Structure 1
Amino acid sequence: MAPSADRQGLWGRPTSTLDWCEDNYVVSFYVAEFWNTVSNLIMILPPIYGAVQTYWDGLEFRYICSFLGLLAVGVGSWCFHMTLLYEMQLLDELPMIYSTCVFVYCLYECFKQENSINFFTIALLLVFSVTVTLVYLQWKEPVFHQVMYGALVACLVLRSIFIVTWCCSGVFILYLCSTCRVYPWLRPLCYTSLGIFMLGFLLWNIDNIFCNSLRASREVLPSGVGVLTQFHAWWHIFTGLGSYLHILLSLQIRSTYLKHRPKVRFLCGVWPTLHIEPQRMN
């Protein structure tokens, strides 16, 4: 979709295959889509904390990679929306594929021995990532990327619901049968992360479908209120939070299986974090 006002800024005319509903260079000469850019902070700051905390807790490297993958998406999306250059678009979209592959690996390998590596699964996800990259570089069709990303997300959603339902039904092995009672955050983490992500997806679609109406409303609304209609920025916020909560869910499932004591705590009383106590469950 083309911007409603052809404003010029530091980065020149957009070369990306996508230009979102936020008018370009309205807030700043240096940032093409200001609100779509700064909303990526939710995918930059919390993953840094999560990666450091995971390292301090001595957990497996794959979960550090999960947080760093989300960080890479946030940085890439920041660069894309700040410049609207094609190269930065790739820096946003391709890490979405790569990081979600890491999420898939972690969730599908959560019931294995500690520090085990499944080379077959890694090879499969690597082939998928390389194939998507090569096809997308030749066939610059955003819908292709969106479908491939959606397929990975669907794998995560189905696996998450299956694990939580299976575990909490009492079918699982003895020390996990009471997981929902011992760790009451397991089910809420699953469905909260899913619900928040789906809300972001809904706002993303509204932003695309009703862009003209949203732009018209911003012309008459006070600027402070009009900002709230930047639904692509809300997509960043909700999907960033949903992805972060998914990593916590994956971490909690894994640490529970390894008989650690995961504890959900709230940083500054607001932001959820997962801490692993050094001792193991009896």
Structure 2
Amino acid sequence: MHPMQLVDELSMIYTACLMCYATFSFSQSRTVRRVLGTSLLSLAVFITLYYHYLQDPVFHQNAFAIITAVVLFRSIVWRRKIGLPWGILLEGHGWWHLMTGFGSYFYLVWGIWLRHCLNERQDEYILSWPSYFSIPEVIPIKIVEGKTTNGVINGHTNGHTNGHLDREDRKSV
């Protein structure tokens, strides 16, 4: 087993143990929190040493699945106590995934557009982002009998193309 793979996989165990602590220590006495913390630390050390000894990915997968399932089941009961809509609105990790997905999409679109600009092909594409409440996209401009497939007629889109007023005013990157 490669050391970096071990580091990658064991960090999942440590994160799951931290989530387990955060989930079960809420509203508990100091004594319970200490016992829980010591127990989870001991569990993480045991999993680390045993996984290093076994070098069997199935052991890691099962250990991670069990810890995650325990946290998930406890979180479901905890969310029920809060009720709707707070149970959904306070689901921070879920919102993190959604926002990371949107951020990644925006980053990829920007990267595609930048690549076309750096290759001096920005006149062949349009960066379309109609409003802040829509998602941007890079659309190829294909001219067919004076019209393009994206509705641009003779290179004009109501005076705005790729964020600039006219083609003549644009400067290459």
Max Rg structure: 2
TM-score by length of 2: 0.49
TM-score by length of 1: 0.31
